[in-house]
Structure 1
Amino acid sequence: MRVVLFGATGMVGQGVLRECLLDDRVEAVLAVGRSPLGTEHPKLTELVREDLFALEPITGYDTCFYCLGVSSVGVAPGDYERITYQLTLSVAGKLPADTTFVYVSGAGTDSSERGRVRWARVKGATENALAKLPLRTFTFRPGYIQPLHGITSKTPLYRTLYRVVMPFYPVLRRFLPQVVTTTEEIGSAMLAVAESGYERTILENADIVTAAARRDRPAGS
């Protein structure tokens, strides 16, 4: 598997990158973003571009894990749509047909595009547009994501939240297994789905956990 990864500096992307680098079935990873990762690995190549809309067509990779995104909080509606919808579709259009494209959306996304919540409508429109492209697309809709292995959010408020919640995560996992997952599970699930597919193209949080459990993890990971 040869993977191109968007959003590797974000919390989810960090988790996905970790799992890709640990897995011997991943031959190479191209991390595309606006800033360097500060990480070195024999399998890892970086492509740093200030304007991701100006990317050239991406070839030589069979899988794209798209973890790039922003919170709608404090972001102007036009900017949120540009990053969430327009940039995602622009990147997808640079990939060869039949590329496996795994898109990180979110729980509560509005597939009808008619609900009251703007971010959910924009995410829904993005999912629907991706489904029409000649790609092998899967959409992930995680709920609460607990970062593991020293991974952190770039948002100070979220970092504080995760530190507070971490001691209670086992309880959340026991009593709310349908709505919580981890950065490790998301990375594992992406690799499992890219390799073997899944029963549905839209994976809710419980599906992500199920897909992650199907992956044969490398020894020592």
Structure 2
Amino acid sequence: MKLIVTGATGLVAQEVLRQGLRNPAIQKIVAVARKPVTIPALEGGVDASKLRSVVVPDYDNYPPGVKEEFSGADACIWTVAITPTKSKDYPFAEVQRICQTSTLVGINAMREAGLGSPFRFIYMSGIAAERDQSKTPPMLPEYSLMRAIEWITDIKILQGETENRVLAFASEHKVAEGFEACVVKPGLITHDAASVARAEDLQRTMGIPNITVEEVAAAMLHQVIHGFEKEPLVNEDLVRIGRKALEDGL
């Protein structure tokens, strides 16, 4: 399998790389980021020869050389986003560009490069994202609805439904090209003692579930390798799949 991982310097993507470079089912990983992904950052007995670092200064632009790297890929795990907490520090238009426009431009660039069939695309969203405009999410509603609602005016698309549009793109190209997509919706992702403490507090006070970075990475890798169990995959699905994959050493 040839796997594309975008946002490859991020927390979750780095764990995907660590596990993917150990997995014999994966022969090559194209690690896409705005800066080089270096081998020292991927410690832990990995097969570094499988890694190909591809730098894209802008996730909205893929030159021919980058598309050549995508050619023949069998899957992609897309992790590029601004988290809900950090989104408050950016103009909403910039959040929308990074979380929505970049995703749609990237998925189309991969298709144009020529892919394997089937091609499995995982879009990493979050538990708060809401596809149904009639519902108002309790936290950061503008951010959450951006991933779910599309408002079309005579001037421009004001908001996008990233999840829905990714799934629609896959549906459009499924029969002829074997394009498949799945949205994963984890809760709070833990990776150290501080994040575990915060997760326990949010679980207790707000009922927000959590998952370890190892579990979510293992679950996504399992799904692109073996096929999507369901869509979407919510936190409890990811925990179950991830723990089993880690136990099995896959």
Question: Which of the pair has the greater relative contact order for Cα pairs under 8 Å at 6+ separation?
Answer: 1
Q: Is the Cα–Cα contact under 8 Å of residues 177 and 206 in structure 1 kept in the other structure?
A: no
Q: Is the Cα–Cα contact under 8 Å of residues 190 and 210 in structure 2 kept in the other structure?
A: yes
Q: In the alignment, what sits opposite 2:151? A: none
Question: Of 145, 148, 162, which residue of structure 2 is paired with 1:126?
Answer: 162
Q: In the alignment, what sits opposite 2:100? A: 85
Superposition pairs of residues 120-199 of structure 1, within 5 angstroms = 120-124=144-148, 125-133=161-169, 134=173, 135-147=179-191, 162-166=192-196, 179-199=209-229
Q: 5+ unaligned residues in a row in structure 1: which ranges?
A: 148-161
Secondary structure, aligned partner of 1:31: strand
**Of the two, which has the highest radius of gyration?**
2
Aligned length, in residue pairs: 205
Give the number of the structure whose residues are more often helix, by fraction: 2
Question: Of 71, 74, 94, which residue of structure 1 is paired with 2:109?
Answer: 94
Over aligned residue pairs, what C-alpha RMSD do you find? Answer: 2.7
Q: 1:172 to 1:212 in 2, by over 3 A?
A: farther
Cα distance in 1 for partners of 2:240, 2:135 equals: 29
Q: In the alignment, what sits opposite 2:59? A: 52
Cα distance in 2 for partners of 1:14, 1:166 equals: 19
**Deviation digits for residues 28-71 of structure 1, max 9, x if unmatched?**
10001111122261110111121222214321210101011113
Cα distance in 1 for partners of 2:18, 2:106 equals: 22
Superposition pairs of residues 182-221 of structure 1, within 5 angstroms = 182-215=212-245
Q: List, as ranges, runs of 4+ consecutive aligned residues in structure 1 with deviation greater than 3 Å.
A: 113-116, 165-173, 216-219
Secondary structure, aligned partner of 2:9: coil
User: Structure 1: which amino acid aligns with 2:212?
Assistant: T
Q: Is the Cα–Cα contact under 8 Å of residues 22 and 218 in structure 1 kept in the other structure?
A: no
Q: 5+ unaligned residues in a row in structure 2: which ranges?
A: 41-47, 149-160, 174-178
Secondary structure, aligned partner of 1:42: helix
Secondary structure, aligned partner of 1:138: strand
Cα distance in 2 for partners of 1:195, 1:112 equals: 30
Q: 1:79 to 1:218 in 2, by over 3 A?
A: same
User: Structure 2: which amino acid aligns with 1:45?
Assistant: R
* 1:164, distance to aligned residue in structure 2 (A): 2.5
Q: Percent identity?
A: 25
Superposition pairs of residues 104-123 of structure 1, within 5 angstroms = 104-116=124-136, 117-123=141-147
